[in-house]
Amino acid sequence: MIWAVALALATVIAAGTYLALSRDLLRCLIGLALVGNGINLLVFSSGRLLSQMPPFVAAGAQQLAVAANPVPQALVLTAIVISFIFLCFSLVLAVRLLQLA
C-alpha cells in the first residue's frame, strides 16, 4: 500500500508540474493546485499508514481500537482550506485579467 501511495503522489505532482509549466494561465493555476494537493498527500502519508496506539491510554489499560496520528490530519485539513481559498481567489483574478486583456 505504501508503494501505491508513493506512485499516486509522484503522479499527482508530475501532472501538476507539467500543467504549471504551461503558458496558459488557467492550466498553470490548476497545476499549482495539483502540486499543493500532492504535497498535502505527502504530509498526510507521513503520518504513517499503519496502525498506532491511541494518544491517550491509561497505564495498564487495554487499547480498544487502533488510532491514526491526528497532527498530520489537522495540518492537511488546514492546508486544504487555505489552498482552496487561494485557488478561488487566483481563478477570479485570472478571469478578471482575461476580461481586461
- The model's pLDDT over 28-64, given as tens digits with 9 standing for 90+, comes to 999 999 999 999 888 888 776 555 655 566 777 776 6
pTM over cut 0.85: no
CB atoms within 10 A of CB 12: 19
Cell 478561488 -> residue: 88
Let me know if residue 58 belongs to a domain: no
Number of domains in the chain: 1
The one-letter amino acid code at 92 reads V
What digits encode the pLDDT tens for the residues 55-100?
566 777 776 666 666 788 888 899 999 999 999 999 999 999 989 9
Q: Is residue 21 part of a domain?
A: yes
Residue-range definition of the domain harbouring residue 25: 2-53+65-100
Could you tell me if residue 25 is inside a domain?
Answer: yes
For 16-45, letters b (16+ CB in 10 Å) and e give beebbeeeeeeebbbbbbbbbbbbbbbebb
